[in-house]
Structure 1
Amino acid sequence: MSTLLEVSGVSVTFDGFRAINNLSFRIGPAEMRAIIGPNGAGKTTFMDIVTGKTKPDQGRIIWGEKSISLRGMSEARIAREGVGRKFQKPTVFEDQTVHENLLMALRNKRGPFAVLFYKPTAKDLARVEALAEEIGLHDALWRKSGELSHGQKQWLEIGMLLAQEPRLLLVDEPAAGMTPAEREHTTNILVEAAKTRAVVVVEHDMEFVRRLNCKVTVLHEGAVLAEGSLDHVTTNQNVIDVYLGR
């Protein structure tokens, strides 16, 4: 299997605390992966490193078919390379409609003049319709985003990320605060997205992880403790001791 992202031998220390410890991780171009582990295991720091928010002390972060290094690249440049990230709390433009939010997020020219004189093309409008369909908000296209439920705002934000056509989507605890029906719909959105890109989901909710039906990476003290199917890792004694037994 070809590799989209390869992290090897990465370490990060904050004030003497080693948050990431010789971590290695790889994911293919159309793959779903769940990352689990106790608080302080390095899950958020891992995402910070891949997106350029945190610079590693050592190690390699290799991206794409041309094997370019993401180390030292700015966050904006890494985003342009195709790495999209969704934080736990949804950030949408609440005074704008769902349609406007999705339109603003489309991957178009970003210069000041381009933005000033931007007129959506028929292709842009069709893309917005398709995205709204994909995230289940087609009936809410003309509603203000501030009126949406928590779950719907999460879907809109995923849609806004998908509008930028990332090759890798990093999603932080998408199931938090959702109703069971919303969780199920979120699963469907992410599983569908992983057919055409890499999707990494950091999650504590084991039931949600089970529904994703994917390979699981368990982090502990900044390193990979176990990797494999959910059944495989949840029967691993080390994983039970440090995480599941709590």
Structure 2
Amino acid sequence: MTDTQSQSQSQSQPVPAAAKAPINPALAPTPSARKDTLLYLDGVSRSFDGFKAINELSFVLAMGEMRAIIGPNGAGKTTMMDIITGKTRPDKGDVFFMGDIDLTKHDEPTIAQMGIGRKFQKPTVFETQTVADNLLLSLKGERRGIPALFYRDNRKDRRTIDGILDKIRLGHRRDELAAYLSHGQKQWLEIGMLLAQDPKLLLVDEPVAGMTDAETEETARLLREIAVDHSVVVVEHDMGFVRDLGVKVTCLHEGHVLSEGSLDHVSSDPQVVEVYLGR
């Protein structure tokens, strides 16, 4: 056999399984890899007028996990949440919830009913309603329009509202109008309104923006308590607050993951320092 024939035969042989590069099961696009995840994004991209807001983004959130997302403005944080909640469709890539629910096939209301709640940076509460009524209007189930005319107060709903009021530190303000709450308290009320919908996943965008130092510290405690029973994704720029959360951190840049790990690991990454923390 000539050297040429030997080389040709070698190239045609399949590579032994042991010689193949190992596949990371957390990123492999298979149902078995997704079964223990709550949220799974793989190879997700989205462009707007030629600008890639999301670029081959892969992100995995485990059941019961709280994750902090950091990154400079324009890193793709908001677009990522828009895609998860069905507000924006990706150009390509996989987006799965609870293992086998393809979120790209559902609209915003349906995704919300599935158990994904989103809090935007600016609190949006019903200021002319009491704190307790804000929660009542948000309880899982139809509370607006004609169904609300036939709603009857019941012990189960009262217990749920009382529990949420205690959790969000507003039990003593239950009968006051939401308009009279401080900015931080309105943020807590809106988080409570999300909890009233009984979500499996909460997406919380810059919850401590505009808060006092005391409110910021209390919000970190609140989210840690919520994370005992829910999965939470927190987008935030306040590194002190992120440290208080004590969770895994993902830094986005130009639409993809730049660094991931503990806050100490991410904040010491030279790339993160260059594009974000060093500014």
* Alignment TM-score, normalising by the size of structure 2: 0.86
Matched, 1:62 2:62: no
Letter in 1 for 2:258: L
Task: Map 1:214-233 to 2 at 5 A.
Answer: 214-233=247-266
Matched, 1:161 2:194: yes
Letter in 1 for 2:230: R
Task: Map 1:31-50 to 2 at 5 A.
Answer: 31-50=65-84
Contact 2:137 2:144 in 1 (8 A): no
- Matched with 1:20 is 54
Question: Rg bigger for which structure?
Answer: 2
**How many Å separate the matches in 1 of 2:272 and 2:248?**
15
Matched, 1:138 2:178: no
**How many Å separate the matches in 1 of 2:144 and 2:173?**
30
Secondary structure, aligned partner of 2:104: coil
Contact 1:173 1:201 in 2 (8 A): yes
Task: Map 1:64-83 to 2 at 5 A.
Answer: 64-65=98-99, 67-83=100-116
- Matched with 1:9 is 43
Contact 1:88 1:172 in 2 (8 A): yes
Letter in 2 for 1:64: M
**How many Å separate the matches in 2 of 1:125 and 1:110?**
14
**How many Å separate the matches in 1 of 2:98 and 2:235?**
22
* Alignment TM-score, normalising by the size of structure 1: 0.97
Aligned pair count? Answer: 245
Structure 1: 5+ residue runs without aligned partners? none
Q: 2:218 aligns with which of 173, 185, 205?
A: 185
Matched, 1:201 2:234: yes
**How many Å separate the matches in 2 of 1:110 and 1:157?**
16
How far has the Cα of 1:184 moved from its partner?
1.1
**How many Å separate the matches in 2 of 1:141 and 1:115?**
20
Secondary structure, aligned partner of 1:165: coil
Contact 2:143 2:151 in 1 (8 A): no
**1:83-121 residue CA offsets vs partner (Å, 9 max, x unmatched):** 000000000000000010011111124585432201121
Higher relative contact order (CA 8 A, sep 6+): 1
> Runs of at least 4 residues of structure 1 off by over 4 A?
110-113
- Matched with 1:210 is 243
**Identity over aligned residues, as a percent?**
58
Contact 1:29 1:196 in 2 (8 A): no
Letter in 2 for 1:167: K
Q: 1:85 aligns with which of 118, 124, 128?
A: 118
**How many Å separate the matches in 1 of 2:71 and 2:53?**
13
Secondary structure, aligned partner of 1:71: helix
Contact 2:54 2:254 in 1 (8 A): yes
Structure 2: 5+ residue runs without aligned partners? 1-34
